[in-house]
Amino acid sequence: MTNKIAVIGLGYVGIPLAVEFGKNYQTIGLDINSERINELESGFDRTLEMSKEELAASTKLSFTQDISDTKECNIYIITVPTPINNKNLPDLTPLILSSQAVGSVLSKGDIVIYESTVYPGVTEEECVPILEKSSGLKFNKDFYCGYSPERINPGDKERTLTKILKITSGSTPEIADVVDDLYSSVINAGTYKASSIKVAEAAKVIENTQRDVNIALVNELALIFDTMDISSEEVLKAAGTKWNFLNFKPGLVGGHCIGVDPYYLTYKAEKMGYKPNLILSSRQINNGMSAYIAKKTIHFLINKNKNIKDAPILIMGLTFKENCPDIRNTKVVDVIDELSDFGCNVDVYDPWVDNKEEKKTFKRKLIDDPFASSKKYSAIVVAVSHHQFLDITYDQYASISDGEPILIDIKGVVDKPTWRL
């Protein structure tokens, strides 16, 4: 049988996958956002992961907003977001809705593969019953499942989809082979076949949990060294001369992965009666960095005898990481909110973010290039290391400051900062 593939969800994960499969297989990319579908059909990817040329090269790929258009597919790959709610608990709503939709068109022999990051057990314990109910089919008799976690790094043009080793798994040994063969046909870096779906789910969720814990350690070290008036940057440089020292840097931890995924694991652990103290403490440390940065900014304003109330503050960068337009779960917003709570007037400049998209998400308008304006700022916080910011000189920052510049450098890219994390 010739595979016909449907990719459900066309965000940072789904669109590269759909494009790659669309070079070799009849592929349908589905997204519930009609504006997104229209843009992709015109050759524009707002995530900037795919160029117009790359989209055009995927000659067997088409797009739709209607799940009924995927009825002839036999492979369904679900790549929807798995966010957390305001209580830091897993929100499986996108996964549930997409499973219901796929179930409504599922046929005998079909395979449903999940790529969304989840806690161990979600595929078989949460999604499979929904697929069974919506389809009227029996799991591992009439249809099958797989899990192959995404490893996309937004904005990374070196480690792209086909260059990242892919974990695969299936609900039976035979289906595991089918899923592995499918991904092997498009992933040049190769695949790793996990022994079960739960193992694959767990492997993914600990990848970002490990990074979160390590970043929390260097963030705590940075806070300790700051109280000692020692440069954490210099300390880490010195310690990094040892061959087995892990090269993590302090900073804000946001985005759709590292700042979210640990909560999926801790939720499941606590459900099973285990208190994951280290992971939860790491989350607390990392979530507290925005407030610390805002308070340091206020500290320097006070030291320079500048008014806090209505102080004009410029934030350079809004995205959760450099050189990508992704603003999901960005902790720069928390810095902005903290400074606003102190009574400051905060402007935000980010050349990577679509003003319409940002305003829709945060109800806030970005400013145009501040260096082309006559406005002066009491403090400037460089929050993201976009390539456009790397060559900005101290004198340029001085030219838009209302006196001696107060430069708060979160990313270690500013010449002569007032304070560096």
- 11, 289, 312, 318, 390 from 375: Cα distances, Å: 37, 28, 9, 20, 21
| Whether 321 contacts 153, CB under 8 Å | no
CA atoms within 13 A on the CB side of 310: 0
Buried-state track 355-367, b at ≥16 Cβ within 10 A, e below 16: eeebeeebeeebe
Q: What are phi and psi of 167, to 5 degrees?
A: -80, 135
Tokens of 233: 């940057």
- Give the pairing type, strands 345-349 and 379-382: unpaired
Residues with active-site annotation:
257
- Give Cβ neighbours of residue 351 (< 8 Å, ≥ 6 apart): 369, 386, 388
Asked whether 347 and 315 are in contact (CB, 8 A), the reply is yes
Structure tokens of 394?
């101290």
d(CA 223, CA 215): 12
Give me the residue label for tokens 């957390």.
Answer: 84
Contact between 138 and 105 (Cβ < 8 Å): no
- Taking alpha carbons only, the member of 86, 54, 106, 77 closest to residue 7 is 77
C-alpha 271/C-alpha 265 separation (Å) is 10
Residue 13 Rama label (left phi>0; alpha psi -120 to 50; beta): alpha
